[in-house]
Structure 1
Amino acid sequence: MKALRTPSTAVNALLALLIVGAATWGVNLIRSTASGNQAKATDLRTVTVSQGTVTKTVNADGAVASASTAAATFTTAGTVTAIKVKVGDRVVKGQQLATVDPTAARRSLDLAEADLDAANDALDRARDAGTDTAAAENQVTSAGLAVDDARAAVAGTRLTAPMAGTVTAINGTVGGSSAPSGATGPATSPSGFIDLADLGRLQITAAFSEADTTALKTGQPATITWNALRNAETTGRVLAVDPTATTTGNVVTYGVTVSLPDPPDGAKPGQTVRVAVVTGSVDNAVRVNAAAVTTTGRRNTVTVLTGAGTQEVRQVEVGLEGDDAYQIASGLTAGEKVVVPTGRTATGAGGAGFRAGGGFTGNGGVPPGGR
């Protein structure tokens, strides 16, 4: 009987060892899985739904320009005899800027005045003779008009300033033609013989894409940033949007004029700037970082991280699509945490359906600009 019991005891012992080993392996597996799940949960990138302002802007490059310019051009052709100003001079309205040789114009005036005197004499003789004076009267009228034209031609040999301002370009030289030619100074088209600008009244001109222009309206606020002036930034408003487009190399743009009521020190016409126009803004909005919103067709969803640590896909209604965050009209409340899908970054890279937007912060940070 002992011989029979020994194998049975050995088998039982072996089974016991196997059971204990299996139990230990199972416990370790459960712990490992739980630890892995916990690590994955910890690695989730999340943003916190907040409440504040959502802003949408469109941007374009532009340049500083005078809000008031004028091109002074001779009305009488001739050889330039004097230029009385230089680029940078400030002038008043009516000030003489340049002259052309008046000899020919004065000779024409003398002849016209002589013709008028002769016409008046002929009219007097017709009246004294009691004959029809209609033809003589017409001759006097024509001669008088010729005198007016000749006097205007003499006046046109003197070029005067049509407005007060600063001389920005001189497009001719002494001894040359009175017609505008090569510019002295940074002239812009169109130009006269001498160009003037009011440097005390500046504005911004910019070219916006046709897509962005659809959102632009007069009166919208804008921020202007200078490229050449360190830390120079100011604000203005949209004054006008060109009704027609400009096409260059198959690229369609629209000209936009922005006011510049408070230019920074050193601002000058021709300087390049960056213009950001606010096309939409919602205050006190429930908002979330754009990277957390997934769009499929017309359906917008977010993945909410619940208090229990589980993930819930929830449909939301998006209002204003801002630069850094989206307004959530319904579906989320401030304080909730939503998951930023893997592979999405603040610069807008990511898979299909991802909307570009501002950055996120790990583990429940507030979006940029949060209040």
Structure 2
Amino acid sequence: MPVRLRPAWLVNGLLVAALAGGGLWVYSSFAPADASDAGTAGGLTRTVAVSRGTVTATVSATGAVRSASTATASFGTSGTVKTIAVAVGTKVAKGTTLATIDDTAAKRQLAAAEDDLDAANDALDRASDAKGDTSAAQSQVDQAERDVDAARDAVAGTVLKAPMAGTVTAVNGTLGGPSSGSSSSSGGTSRSSTSTSSTTTTTTGSGFVTIEDLGHLEVAATVAEADATKLRKGQSATVTWNALPDARSDATLTAVDPTATTSGDVVTYGATLSLAKLPTGVRAGQTVQVSVVVGKVEDAVTVISAAVTGSGARHTVTVDQNGQHVTRDVQVGLEGGQTTQITSGLDVGEQVVITIPTGSGGGTQTGNQPGGGFRFPGGGGFTGGGATGGGFRGGTGGRQGAGR
């Protein structure tokens, strides 16, 4: 008697057959002609040709966008805040009045100092007319003049003026409160430090008003201790934004902090980068990823970095010689993220062997991270290789599967 299949079983069987056939078609259709894949006890192997090209080494870091110029302005005189003429977001020109304090006491002290100076001058005149010793009277005049200058500065210090043009990003005080302010909201590092009779701009600490030049932004990045030694002023970099997926800007390394910052056992150095162009939507405070080019060699003999093993002065590769895998010593130059420069031991066109470990989680360039893979410049690559994220992924001509 004919066996009746349930519809669900029939559909599932057809799906399994279609997936298996599709996988075989993808594998056979997109295999690069100049490379071969094989299985070994340690995993999948592939041969890749030694080529000539550019090797680039980079240092990656995280950072944040900030104003390239920031100043904190503080009153030069203590007192009670009388007026505040700006708010957060206000754009100001240099010299704009930001706030004032009650100047009654300061003006009273100035008037008293001026009266003392008049009296000292009168005493000096009398001593001169008497043809006596005038040194004591002259000293009193000199001191009275200094007191008048200080009192005038105190009066001027009751008016807080903008030390630079920019946008107000913090107002750390309230009407009726003390002129010293109450908190700090500085968003960057001041590029200038000036002091006048009415305004003091400092590089650290809190001020009554913080002003930033939001038209000129830069990136402040944190670099690992081992990578900081590779950084040099003037190196080119690329900046990408976490909040703006399509934003990208060329940058230049302008400074590396001379001293480190230590947090627990982690030692890092600060780095500053100038941006060539501000993408649309960029704001101070946004987080970014930075990639600084620390080395570049053009027209070099190159091989994919995954093919090179060893460290220090000894490096080896496995070469495919007529189907036989032979270990060979090589000398390496610049070691990039994807490719490595070979200075001796290999010729362009030779085939080197790469082994991709198999097992749970697949691999990355080191073959041990879930969902990762090997990418081969111009010749495709392996992605995954295990139960998660498995398959083959090429750069230009590789194979990609859905895993299993």
Q: TM-score under structure 2 normalisation?
A: 0.75
Q: How does 1:46-85 map to 2 (within 5 A)?
A: 46-85=47-86
Q: Give the Cα separation in 2 of the matches to 1:162 and 1:290.
A: 53
Q: Does 1:106 align with 2:121?
A: no
Identical amino acids, percent of aligned pairs: 55
Q: Give the Cα separation in 1 of the matches to 2:133 and 2:228.
A: 70
Unaligned runs of 5+ in 1: 1-37, 351-356
Which SS does the other structure have where 1:94 is aligned?
coil
Which SS does the other structure have where 2:127 is aligned?
helix
- For residues 110 and 199 of structure 1, do their structure 2 counterparts lie closer, same or farther at Cα, with a shift above 3 Å needed? same
Deviations 1:180-235 (A, max 9, x none): 2135x675663310001111111111111110001111111111111111211111
Q: Give the Cα separation in 1 of the matches to 2:206 and 2:396.
A: 46
Task: Give the Å deviation of 1:312.
Answer: 2.4
Q: Give the Cα separation in 2 of the matches to 1:362 and 1:230.
A: 24
Q: Give the Cα separation in 2 of the matches to 1:54 and 1:39.
A: 28
Q: Which amino acid aligns with 2:344?
A: S
Which SS does the other structure have where 1:192 is aligned?
coil
Q: Which amino acid aligns with 1:131?
A: G
1:330 aligned to which of 344, 354, 358: 344
Q: How does 1:155-304 map to 2 (within 5 A)?
A: 155-182=156-183, 187=187, 190-295=205-310, 298-304=313-319
Q: Does 1:348 align with 2:366?
A: yes
Which residue in the other structure is 1:137 paired with? 138
- For residues 178 and 67 of structure 1, do their structure 2 counterparts lie closer, same or farther at Cα, with a shift above 3 Å needed? same
Asked if the contact 1:44/1:362 (under 8 Å) is kept, the reply is no
Q: Does 1:321 align with 2:335?
A: yes
Deviations 1:61-97 (A, max 9, x none): 1011111111110010000000001111111111100
Unaligned runs of 5+ in 2: 1-36, 189-203, 382-393, 398-404
- For residues 358 and 368 of structure 1, do their structure 2 counterparts lie closer, same or farther at Cα, with a shift above 3 Å needed? farther
Q: Give the Cα separation in 1 of the matches to 2:311 and 2:113.
A: 83
- For residues 312 and 364 of structure 1, do their structure 2 counterparts lie closer, same or farther at Cα, with a shift above 3 Å needed? farther
- For residues 103 and 168 of structure 1, do their structure 2 counterparts lie closer, same or farther at Cα, with a shift above 3 Å needed? same
Deviations 1:267-305 (A, max 9, x none): 121111111111111111111111111216632111112
Task: Give the Å deviation of 1:109.
Answer: 0.3
CA RMSD of superposed structures (Å): 2.5
- For residues 249 and 134 of structure 1, do their structure 2 counterparts lie closer, same or farther at Cα, with a shift above 3 Å needed? same
- For residues 236 and 361 of structure 1, do their structure 2 counterparts lie closer, same or farther at Cα, with a shift above 3 Å needed? closer
Which is greater in Rg? 1
Q: Give the Cα separation in 2 of the matches to 1:101 and 1:365.
A: 74
Q: Which amino acid aligns with 2:297?
A: V
Task: Give the Å deviation of 1:361.
Answer: 4.8
- For residues 365 and 314 of structure 1, do their structure 2 counterparts lie closer, same or farther at Cα, with a shift above 3 Å needed? farther
Asked if the contact 1:47/1:360 (under 8 Å) is kept, the reply is no
Asked if the contact 1:203/1:258 (under 8 Å) is kept, the reply is yes
Q: TM-score under structure 1 normalisation?
A: 0.81
Higher helix fraction (1 or 2): 1
Task: Give the Å deviation of 1:316.
Answer: 1.1
- For residues 186 and 268 of structure 1, do their structure 2 counterparts lie closer, same or farther at Cα, with a shift above 3 Å needed? farther
Asked if the contact 1:112/1:147 (under 8 Å) is kept, the reply is yes
Which residue in the other structure is 1:21 paired with? none
Q: Which amino acid aligns with 1:316?
A: V
Which SS does the other structure have where 1:45 is aligned?
strand
Q: Give the Cα separation in 1 of the matches to 2:377 and 2:209.
A: 61
Q: Which amino acid aligns with 2:254?
A: L
Asked if the contact 2:167/2:214 (under 8 Å) is kept, the reply is yes
Q: Give the Cα separation in 2 of the matches to 1:223 and 1:332.
A: 32
Task: Give the Å deviation of 1:360.
Answer: 4.2
Which residue in the other structure is 1:118 paired with? 119
Task: Give the Å deviation of 1:145.
Answer: 0.6
State how many pairs are aligned.
324
Moved more, 222-231 or 290-299: 290-299
Indicate the structure whose relative CO is greater, using CA pairs within 8 Å and at least 6 residues apart.
1
Asked if the contact 2:99/2:159 (under 8 Å) is kept, the reply is yes
Asked if the contact 1:48/1:364 (under 8 Å) is kept, the reply is no
Q: Does 1:305 align with 2:320?
A: yes
Q: Give the Cα separation in 2 of the matches to 1:363 and 1:270.
A: 38
Which SS does the other structure have where 1:73 is aligned?
strand
